[in-house]
Structure 1
Amino acid sequence: MGTVRGQAAAAVLAVCGMLALSACQNGDDQAAAPDAKPSAAAPAAPTATSPVPAPSKTGAAPKSSASATSAGKNPPAPAPPSAPVCGPDHRMPVSPDTIAVQRYTPEGGMTSLVVQHGTYGCPGRFEPSGPWTYLPISEKAKITATAPILPSEVMGKPISTSELTGWLDTHPDKGLPFRYHLDAAGVVDTLDEIYVK
């Protein structure tokens, strides 16, 4: 009797297991595709890496971004080289044709400029250095001046030696940079102010 009951219980458990397995498989099939059409027919959604711009209200084609246009036609220009770090290692040798004019003196019967030589430092401005020296200048020297001697002038305009010395009287020790040339006698015959912002 006990053996019959055990066999019956085993049979019931086997039937229940078969029913449960069948129900799980049918449920998976229905959940996977309940009356759904093949996935190939569904429209593909745009990906995040390739956005599709919406059409404008006027019907014009959407414009591409500025970066894409410039990259397609004109490749970006390389970045300019960075300026060198300023310091004593970047100083140039003493300039042979540039002086900083500090003052003038009429002593000795001839007008002489009181000047300093110097170097073009970093980032390119003339830097006077060393002792003050004297350079005689001709009364007929060809002189061009810019701002601040001529406040509104940037390109350079001719002035006379007396106009220069008159400005130096009221603005001593400014150290404005000039390119100069000496004649055979060692007298300044050309003097061109270097414009400094």
Structure 2
Amino acid sequence: MSPRRSYDQYCSAARALDLVGDRWTLLIVRELLAGPRRYTDLHADLPGVSTDVLASRLKDMERDGIATRRRLPPPGAAYVYELSERGRALLPVLQALGKWGEGELGELRPTDAVRAHWSALPLLRALEGEGIVEVLLEEGEFHLRLGAGDGPAYGDGPAPGPVDARLVLDSATCTAVCRGELTPADAVRAGRITVTGDGALAEALREGTGGREAGPGGT
């Protein structure tokens, strides 16, 4: 395990960056906000990270109390990594960073990797209420846990149980919402998001009250 590097500054921002400022650390947190993940799953959903760097970052996160490692009971019998309570507290940090970076998305570059669940955090910012929302994109499916509290913020694939609303949208619409250019309510009204479900959350989305307003650069 590598020794922790420090900015040696008596400043809370500098102390925070001592822990999560290394390359890849916050993106590992983004993946673990979905709940426990195996090392191989993390490596698959972090294209570009080397096995050595990923292993080193995970060890650092364990040492610093951001993540833990545990063995699943049989028949799984695999090790998984998951965020500690302190690690889960980084959700608003990731949300604020994502909001700040909306204008940097631009057009999809030929070298850009894409995973459907990378849209989970932007959609969590855009939606209001509490409940389970399934989202189906061309690239895949994931589910959101609005108002989840201490649990995972989202999950890859279909929800394991009942859902309150199901959203079907294309990549262009999802990108516009993630950039803050389009609200979910406006997308529903324009027929760009199809909402199904009988829950209060689905009804709110159909009525145009289930999302936040677009930012200053949006429409």
Asked if TM exceeds 0.5, the reply is no
Bigger Cα Rg: 1
TM-score (norm 2): 0.19
Q: As a proportion of its length, which structure holds more helix?
A: 2
Q: As a proportion of its length, which structure holds more strand?
A: 1
TM-score (norm 1): 0.21
